[in-house]
Structure 1
Amino acid sequence: MARKHILHMLTPLAHMSPFDVNMALDAGFDAVVPYVGVKVGEVTGLVQDAIFSRPPDAGVDTGIFIAGKDAPLALDMFDAAKKAMVPPFQVSVFADPAGSFTTAAAMVAKVEKALQKKFERGLKDTEIAIFGATGVVGFCTAVIAANEAAKVTIVGYDGVERVKKIAAEMKSRFKVEVEPVDGSSDERKKELVETTQVILAAAKAGVQVISREHLSAADKLLIAADVNAVPPAGIEGLAVNANADPLEATKAVGIGPLAIGNVKYKVESGLFKKMIEADKTVAFDFQDAFTLARETAK
């Protein structure tokens, strides 16, 4: 009888995301088991319980999923899970806290595709301002874009201090340079929008961060993208289904949350399927998500 594909889902939060549970089961896992309130120091024990309960050749049929809402913490748990392996006892690991790795990967991949198709350029040296950069999606988006040599600015809605700390963490952990700036007033937002080529909105659902007034003098703007599907739009005037379509009141094009979400869904599902179908154990983080998003985005 064929072995069951089992996925152990770890989160530091009080609840596992129903979204991720559904995605994993729909991708083909036979059993999905959530573990909540997990601390970094507990990851090793949980992983080793999983690897030693099955023979080495069943490791490929066992997976660990890292969830939560904190990208650096999820990466720490991801690293702890990989270090817990005792070859030949190993299992696959996939980190995607709050869907942020796959969402960020999808957003950057859609922007890259639009830059290539509409403006015959890539991410390298493109000026990108990320609003909502203190959140988990904004954090990952900044790292992915900076890794592709974009000139990334992370905008602090409550001043510059928090984004300064985030920029320092990105430099320390990922060796990327991003510029932290203050976006706490309408005047500062307007100045940023006027001087950038790409705007990425990754704020909380239902929060509008960029208005038509902010966009009114955005002569350099090429692309505006938003991951918020809950009204009001994060970028005023950007339709949820926009797919590199003209953005009203600007010369730019817009990419809405449904276009990004379509790629995100395919990437998360695709990485779960890759775990199931792999001939040997795998480990997926945001860079693997971006690789698949690039292949998926149209």
Structure 2
Amino acid sequence: MPAKILVCLDTDPQPSVFDGVVAVDAGVDHLFRHGGVTPADVQNLVYGAIFTRAPDELNNTAIFVGGSDVSAGEKVLAAVKETCFGPMRVSVMLDSNGSNTTAAAAVIAAGRHTDLSQSTVTVLAGTGSVGKRILLMLADDGARMRLGSRSLEHAQQVAEEVRHKAPNAVIECMVTTDEAGLRKSLDGANVVISSGPPGVELFPQRVRDDYPNLDVAIDLNAVPPLGIEGIEVVDKRVEQGSTICYGAIGVGGTKMKIHHAAIAKLFTANDLVFDATEIYELGKELEA
């Protein structure tokens, strides 16, 4: 049987060591790692992947798009899909900055403790790369969403992007830079997910004290100060009153499980495309 080859197209100058290690642990035989990849580079790289093996062997070659810039990764993914044709294609996965696998792990964690189709979920800093994907996944499950952001205009733009992919998405956009806006976003919510940048506190304890009936609180920031005060980075299913809490490392085990499974599944066919929705569906299958 031909060796399993994963071609890593990383938009950063140095390809991610993290993504390389995960790929090896997922059973990949060989890694071909390319850094500083732009859409203009993609065609020749993909041609090298699809024209070196017979069509019935192309399931043994796959492409992983990574890097710290999710927008750049999305453009590279689009170029990969555009370059493949007919039977001459390989499966491809996008997980720039861990955005898809992290978002899937967070939403799956919330869904363990509440029916998301009957939930109102506040997503703080929801306009970032992980936040956007959380919104899309929540929309797939029929949740009502509150999108918190520093900019109402930016929030509305992101909401439209989500609705373009999920027309039935119910999203209310709110500015949460001050306490009044934060409280408004939390009124009536039973789940809060903080997906903000490292070292930025978004949900202080003095406000949390007034919302003791949250079902779930998830903080995806691992750098102090954390996004939700009072949640520890290693928290996993920790009960604080009636609220189940998760920190970034607390959801990390699920994220890694999804990441490994997605890499392995790339080699089951030559026409798979794993972006947010597909990775979330895979995560739910693993959780079942």
Q: Deviation of residue 280 (structure 1)?
A: 4.8
Contact 1:194 1:217 in 2 (8 A): no
TM-score normalised by L of structure 2: 0.91
In 2, Cα distance between equivalents of 1:126 and 1:159: 24
Distance 1:84 1:226, change over 3 A: same
Residue 266 in structure 1 maps to residue 274 in structure 2: no
Match of 1:206 in 2: 199
Tell me how far apart the structure 2 counterparts of residues 296 and 133 of structure 1 sit (CA, whole Å). 25
Mark the CA change 1:140 to 1:189 in structure 2 (over 3 Å): closer, same or farther: same
Q: CA separation of 1:76/1:28 partners in 2, compared to 1, >3 Å: closer, same or farther?
A: same
Q: 1 CA distance for matches of 2:158 and 2:89?
A: 33
Task: In structure 2, list runs of 5 or more residues that go unmatched.
Answer: none
- Tell me by how many angstroms 1:86 deviates: 2.8
Q: How many residues in Structure 1 have an aligned counterpart in Structure 2?
A: 287
Matches within 5 A, 1:4-15: 4-15=3-14
The one-character-per-residue Cα deviations of 1:195-244 (angstroms, maximum 9, x if unpaired) are: 31110011122322111112121154221111222333221111333333
Contact 1:193–1:214 (8 Å) recurs in 2: no
Q: Identical aligned pairs, as a percentage?
A: 27
Instruction: Say whether the 8 Å CA contact 1:71–1:140 is kept in structure 2.
Output: no
Distance 1:164 1:280, change over 3 A: closer
Could you tell me which amino acid in structure 2 is paired with residue 154 of structure 1? L
Q: How does 1:127-206 map to 2 (within 5 A)?
A: 127-156=120-149, 158-175=150-167, 176-206=169-199
Q: Is the 8 A contact 1:160 1:180 kept in 2?
A: yes
Please give the alpha-carbon distance, in whole angstroms, between the structure 2 residues aligned to 1:88 and 1:293. Answer: 28
| Structure 1 Cα separation of the partners of residues 215 and 254 of structure 2 | 21
Q: Which ranges in structure 1 are unaligned for 5 or more consecutive residues? A: 116-121
Contact kept in structure 2, 1:96 and 1:102, CA below 8 Å: yes
Kept after mapping to 1: 8 A contact 2:258/2:286: yes
Structure-2 separation of matches of 1:130 and 1:17: 28
Alignment of 1:242-253 (within 5 A): 242-247=235-240, 251-253=242-244
Distance 2:68 2:20 in 1: 15
Q: Which moved more, 1:66-75 or 1:226-235?
A: 66-75
Is the deviation greater in 138-147 or in 285-294?
Answer: 285-294
Alpha carbons of 1:134 and 1:16: their partners in 2 closer, same or farther (altered >3 Å)? farther
- Does structure 1 residue 35 correspond to structure 2 residue 34? yes
Q: Deviations over 1:14-53 (max 9, x none)?
A: 3322211111122121221222332234333321221012
Rounded Cα–Cα distance in structure 2 between residues aligned with 1:79 and 1:36 = 17
Q: Which stretch shifts more, 141-150 or 13-22? A: 13-22
User: Following the alignment from structure 1 to structure 2, what is the Cα–Cα distance between the partners of residues 43 and 177?
Assistant: 36
Partner of 1:87: 86
The match for 1:227 among 184, 202, 220 is 220
Identify the range of structure 1 (3-12 vs 68-77) with the bigger mean alpha-carbon deviation.
Answer: 68-77
Specify which of 233, 236, 239 is matched with residue 240 of structure 1.
Answer: 233
**TM-score (ref. length: structure 1):** 0.88
Alignment of 1:98-109 (within 5 A): 98-109=97-108
- 1:102-144 Cα distance to aligned partner (Å, 9 max, x none): 11001101100111xxxxxx11131111112122111111111
- Using a 3 Å threshold, how does the CA distance of structure 1 residues 297 and 242 change in structure 2: closer, same or farther? farther
**Do structure 1's residue 50 and structure 2's residue 49 form an aligned pair?**
yes
Q: Is residue 279 of structure 2 the alignment partner of residue 286 of structure 1?
A: no
Name the CA distance, whole Å, in 1 between partners of 2:232 and 2:286. 21
Give, in whole Å, the separation in 2 of the partners of 1:179 and 1:80: 33
Which shifted more, 198-207 or 167-176?
167-176
SS at match of 1:258: helix
